Amino acid sequence: MKNSFKELIKGLIHENPTFVLMLGLCPTLAVSISLINGLGMGVAATFVIIFSNILIAALKDVIPDKVRIPCYIVVIATFVTITELVMKAYFPPLNRALGIYVPLIVVNCIVLGRAEAFASKNKILNSLMDGIGMGIGFTMALLLISGIRELLGSGKLFGYNVFSNFEPMLIIAMPSGALLVIGLLLGFFNFLKGRKA
Amino acid sequence: MSKLIVPSSPHLHSGESVSRIMWTVILCLIPAGAAGVIIFGLSALWTIILAVVSAVLCEWLIQALTKRKISVLDGSAILTGLLLAYNLPAQVPFWIPIIGAIFSISIAKMAFGGLGQNIFNPALAGRVFLMASWPKYLTIFTKPFNYDAVTSATPLALLKEGKLVQHIPNWDLFLGIRGGCIGEVCIIALLAGALFLLIRGYISWHIPVSFIATAGLLTWAFGGKTFFSGDWIFHILSGGLILGAFFMATDYVTSPLTRKGHLVFGIGCGALTAVIRLWGGYPEGVSYAILIMNAATPLVDRYTKNRVYGTKIK
């Protein structure tokens, strides 16, 4: 049990998928314009990571080694389709905002990366914990980036105005602003890590 | 700078240093700034002072925090702030030059490792950052000699919108009696400063001449209703072409090393400027052209190496 708890917390900070493993940057750059989008993408990806990790860990002995990647993709695509249909049915505005990036979770490097690097070599319980940790880590990173971008780029948080008299920094709401924010945050975290070491 | 390779003797000290060159360039820029203040009023002076002071303070703060050698007095931060202010309209809100200078120094210069390490010209990076963030403040220009809040568009913006009805006399463009950024309008003052730099040998003619000639040639060829009928004198004298070609494209750090490279760099800048002005979405393209060629500088350097003395000619 202690071991699986370790798998859970490593994804939060120590092996954070966005800031340490540098995975899944494409959806991070694209959807982190507002907190709602970031949260939606984070939750959707977390769901997919958890269930694909469980299923792949359960099936790892019957999947032939040579065709494992196509098999993983089929498993992941199944859960992404479920996510997309649920999102379309119950959260249509969010689905419209995220657009093509919901189906693109299929090729999100985090999901495939965890399947290949962790779930295919570990037991179901540990894979579940790994999936939860990685999903929460990804969501936290998305919330941090999208919070900064929404605050500076449009002066709002969760769609509500924060400042009464604020000139939004439009560049932060553009893709170039996403690269800037991620780069600066990455530099900041590396600085913290270097000081600890 | 820790690994300085010294070739064999004899050595001759030229008396030049980074700070001496920087201060000379600053002096050469003062006439254009003074002309800008005369044309646009005291608000231009405030913009210049705010940009310079915040650039210097920001560099000092970063160097103090990271415990690097404090080198704010070498003039490079002052030059960055000055060039940034020269690229802004006179009546911007007070926080525009401050934020621009902070971005120039902290992101475009110090984050890359400080003077000599930056890929992009810091002043232009700051301007483009401001342009992308608050476009509405950077496209309102003061009318010359109307110190209150009368605004006018730049000649290039009028041309882009098809509203340039009457021809602006070339002489007015040459003296700087037009809407525009603080330091770019007075061509004669800019040319006087540039001439001094050329005579002292601080800049070579290769980048400015190839830059301006290419932009002039392309706007002459494609700028008019038929081929070779464009108003190339208007295009050379308006916008930031002269300021950019002589003072910003020639930045030592972000331009190629060899003469051949300088020519490639200048032609690239000129071609991009003409393309953006004639077919792009923005009325003016000098700053984008220089930044794009800054990014291409390592590549240009790689293909324009000088032949090492004694090696074979290909």
Per-residue DSSP letters for B167-192? PPPHHHHHHT-SS--TTTS-HHHHHH
Give the count of domains, chain B.
1
Is the residue at B3 inside a domain? no
Query: What percent of chain B is helix, strand and coil (3-state, nearest 5)?
Result: 60, 0, 40
Cα–Cα distance, B311 to B298 (Å, whole number): 23
CB contact under 8 A, A170 and B111: no
Here the CATH number for the domain that contains residue B201 is 1.10.3430
Domain assignment of residue A175, given as a range: 2-196
Residue A103: is it exposed, middle or buried by C-beta count within 10 angstroms (0-12/13-18/19+)? middle
Is the residue at B180 inside a domain? yes
Select the residue from A169, A176, A190, A191 to test the B interface by mutation, using most B Cβ atoms within 10 A.
Answer: A169
Amino acid at A7: E
CB contact under 8 A, B134 and A187: no
Q: Which residues of B touch A149 (CB under 8 A)?
A: none
Beta carbon pairs, A and B, within 8 Å: 15
Is the residue at B279 inside a domain? yes
Is the residue at B95 inside a domain? yes
Is the residue at B12 inside a domain? no
- Compare CB distances from A170 to B107, B111, B133 and report the shortest one's residue: B133
Cα–Cα distance, B181 to B157 (Å, whole number): 13
Could you give the ipTM of this predicted complex? 0.81
Is the residue at B14 inside a domain? no
User: Mind listing the pLDDT tens digit of every residue in chain B (314 residues)?
Assistant: 456 666 677 777 777 788 889 999 999 999 999 999 998 888 899 999 999 999 999 999 999 998 888 888 888 999 999 999 999 998 889 999 999 999 999 999 998 888 888 999 999 999 999 999 998 888 878 777 766 656 677 888 877 777 666 677 888 888 888 888 899 889 999 999 999 999 988 999 999 999 999 999 999 999 888 888 888 888 888 888 999 999 999 998 899 989 999 999 999 999 999 999 998 888 888 999 999 999 999 999 998 887 777 777 66
CB contact under 8 A, A174 and B132: yes
Give the count of domains, chain A.
1
Is the residue at B267 inside a domain? yes
Domain assignment of residue B117, given as a range: 20-303
